[in-house]
Chains A and B, each alone.
Chain A
Amino acid sequence: AQRVTQPEKLLSVFKGAPVELKCNYSYSGSPELFWYVQYSRQRLQLLLRHISRESIKGFTADLNKGETSFHLKKPFAQEEDSAMYYCALSALYGNKLVFGAGTILRVKS
């Protein structure tokens, strides 16, 4: 079975502080991992996916198969990063996403 766990419901940091949103997954096959973000009053949208190995809006995420983790990191948080973040998993070439419960990131000034 595929499962995604985001242990923190809420992460509150000060502007300029480093951010790490945790994501652990359970899947026996080859996974594709994603981070989706929902800003206030906007629709859910893709932030980044592990296969692209990009940095988007200063965020990066590395797939660690040994620890089955895909944590999202940013060295210096900005107020506009405040949003709900969802980690999601798909089987390689799969047709569905399994989402975690989400973490609210609140960046305080």
Chain B
Amino acid sequence: ETGVTQSPTHLIKTRGQQVTLRCSSQSGHNTVSWYQQALGQGPQFIFQYYREEENGRGNFPPRFSGLQFPNYSSELNVNALELDDSALYLCASTPGGLAGELFFGEGSRLTVL
């Protein structure tokens, strides 16, 4: 059984640029959630995708957007990067549209200079 995989693991961008992070869900899971984890903080919910539709969103501006594909993999896009977007971005999958037990990836660490 393949777990949640994320790419890239690390990346550096400059303020104003755009970034795309990718996530492959665990086999059999049709729901993907994205979380932002700033240094010293717990993960914070960005949004969830269930069967290719956004199924809930946290307190993040519209420049944070996402997609889910028919194979349930997902992308997180962030436009007009700001310094405060520097964080670890975690993807998690689950078999169903509920929070339940989340299976996390190892994360993508974004640094914005």
List residues of chain A with CB under 8 Å of any chain B CB. Answer: 4, 32, 34, 36, 43-46, 49, 86, 88, 90, 93-102
Residue of B nearest to A96 (CB): B45
- Inter-subunit contact B99/A99 (CB<8 Å): no
- Asked if residues B105 and A46 are in contact (CB atoms below 8 Å), the reply is no
Provided the pairs A43-B105, A43-B106 are in contact, do residues A93 and B42 lie with their beta carbons within 8 angstroms? no
| 7 examples of A-B residue contacts, CB within 8 angstroms | A36-B102, A95-B50, A95-B56, A95-B99, A96-B56, A99-B42, A101-B41
Question: B44–A99 contact, CB under 8 A?
Answer: yes
Assembly CA distance A87 to B86 (angstroms): 23
Known: A101-B41, A101-B42. A96 touches B101 (CB 8 A): no
Give the dominant DSSP class at B's interface. Answer: loop
Q: Is the interface of A mostly helix, strand, loop or mixed?
A: strand
A-B pairs with lowest CB-CB distance, top 7: A99-B42, A90-B99, A96-B45, A44-B104, A95-B56, A46-B101, A43-B104
Tell me which of A44, A93, A95 contacts B90 (CB under 8 A). A44
Pick from A97, A100, A102: contact of B102, CB under 8 Å:
A97
Q: How far is the CB of B50 from chain A (nearest CB, A)?
A: 8
What's the Cα separation between A90 and B101 when bound, in Å? 11
- Chain A residue, CB-CB nearest to B43: A99
Contacts of A98 in B (CB 8 A): 45
Selected contact of B43 from candidates A44, A49, A90, A94, CB within 8 Å: A44
**Known contacts A44-B104, A49-B101: A96-B48 contact under CB 8 Å:** yes
Complex alpha-carbon distance, A99 and B88, angstroms: 15
Our pick among B42, B101, B107 for the contact of A86 (Cβ within 8 Å) is B42
CB proximity to A under 8 Å, residues B24-47: 33, 35, 40-45
- Pairwise interchain contact B42-A102, C-beta atoms closer than 8 A: yes
